[in-house]
Amino acid sequence: MLFKISAIAVALVASVSAHMAMIEPCTRYTPNNPKCPAIPAGQLPDYNLKDPLAYNAPLCKHTTPYATPVATWTAGQSITTRFQADGAAHGGGHAQFSLSYDGGKTFVVIYEVLKHVFFTGPTSGNAATVLSYTFDLPKDVPASDKAIFAWTWVNAVGNREFYMNCADVAIKSYSNSFTGKRMTIANHVGGPDIGEFNGNYELGLEYYKNAPLITVTGNGSTPGGGNPPSPLPHVPQPSSESVPPTKPTTVEQEKPTNVVPVPTYVSSPVVSIPVVSTPPAPKPTSPSVPSGCTHGVQECAADGSGFKVCVWGVWSNAISCAPNTKCKALAPGTINCDWP
């Protein structure tokens, strides 16, 4: 009997020390951080947060959010993510940090660590030497009271798996929309398979560097109404161990003097549109870039109820202004959603 009890204890310890898990901001249903809010009614603590997603499991694993955000961030601020210290880091690999504004259907990348996540270079070790990452939120991520912040990881050593933890956050911002790379999903249903690295840390990088660009807004809109968008022309990126995701190059212009900025942050999804213009970017050899519009140009709907944005030569679907506001043209190609 003593032998059986000891064997069970060893198995439990092994399961607790497996893999990696994000503990800050509070991951959905984590039992490992006393600062986290109460788990939603009808749900149980997740003692297996370190486990990879099952191959056909939904993204985030748990689809019911916390009743209130676990953190409130401001666009442009520095944020820090932390991971449990007793996990197995499986030689590093590729990781991304992303945001969703449509309940977890679509994620846009805001930061990524390629090749050697949890380490500072190539290794076959399991004990992580890097347990936190600090980076700046992009200044133009939209406002939302119900955004989802996600960490995803494809490990370098071991079984071919896809890891994902999600946290419910609120974001304050003056921006209406953000364009960035769509989150890479691999070794999971619907995504490509990335094999064991075996020392080749370039393996699978093409799925990250050539991911299509998507545009998200505070009300969750994306091209195609939240469904996976048609691939847009890829933007090549230099190889790096830790690089922020590539965004279309923008140059901020001086705002007209007759525009009065809103004095405080608001939680409505749409308030104002940053004034941007884009210098000519190198055209990819294939596919050809449509010439229907100039990237970054914004245009109001005829009735003023919303607007559309040109993303690499393609007009986005209509994006609604916030309730009780109207779209107004500030200058050719630049608009503002403001109160009448």
316 band by pLDDT with thresholds 50, 70 and 90: confident
In a domain, 169, yes or no: yes
Non-local (6+) Cβ contacts of 199 within 8 A are: 122
In a domain, 229, yes or no: yes
Residue 217 has pLDDT above 70, yes or no: yes
pLDDT of 220 reads 59
Burial class (CB in 10 A: 0-12, 13-18, 19+), 130: middle
pLDDT of 214 reads 95
Strands (E), the chain: 22-24, 71-74, 78-83, 93-100, 108-113, 132-136, 144-155, 163-172, 177-181, 213-217, 242-243, 251-252, 276-277, 298-300, 306-311, 314-315, 319-320, 326-331, 334-338
In a domain, 29, yes or no: yes
309 band by pLDDT with thresholds 50, 70 and 90: confident
More confident residue, 52 or 244: 52
What share of residues in the chain are helix, strand, coil (percent, to 5)? 5, 30, 65
CB 131 within 8 A of CB 82: yes
Residue 311 has pLDDT above 90, yes or no: no
Non-local (6+) Cβ contacts of 12 within 8 A are: none
- Alpha helix stretches (DSSP H) within the chain: 2-16, 205-209
Measure the CA–CA gap between 316 and 309, rounded to whole angstroms. 5
In a domain, 1, yes or no: no
pLDDT digits (tens, 9 = 90+) for 55-105: 999 999 999 999 999 999 999 999 999 999 888 999 999 999 999 999 999
- Mean pLDDT value across the chain: 78
CB 299 within 8 A of CB 262: no
Mean pLDDT of 24-47: 89
In a domain, 101, yes or no: yes
pLDDT of 261 reads 42
CATH label of the domain that carries residue 234: 2.70.50.70
State which residues form the domain around 143.
17-243
pLDDT digits (tens, 9 = 90+) for 252-270: 444 444 443 433 333 334 4
pLDDT digits (tens, 9 = 90+) for 170-197: 999 999 899 999 999 999 998 999 999 9
* Six token digits for residue 5: 């009890």
Tally of domains within the chain: 1
Burial class (CB in 10 A: 0-12, 13-18, 19+), 60: buried
Q: How far is it between the farthest Cα atoms of the chain?
A: 81
In a domain, 38, yes or no: yes
Residue 290 has pLDDT above 50, yes or no: no
- Residue in 227, 226, 219 with CA at minimum distance from that of residue 321: 219
In a domain, 303, yes or no: no
In a domain, 266, yes or no: no
11 band by pLDDT with thresholds 50, 70 and 90: very low
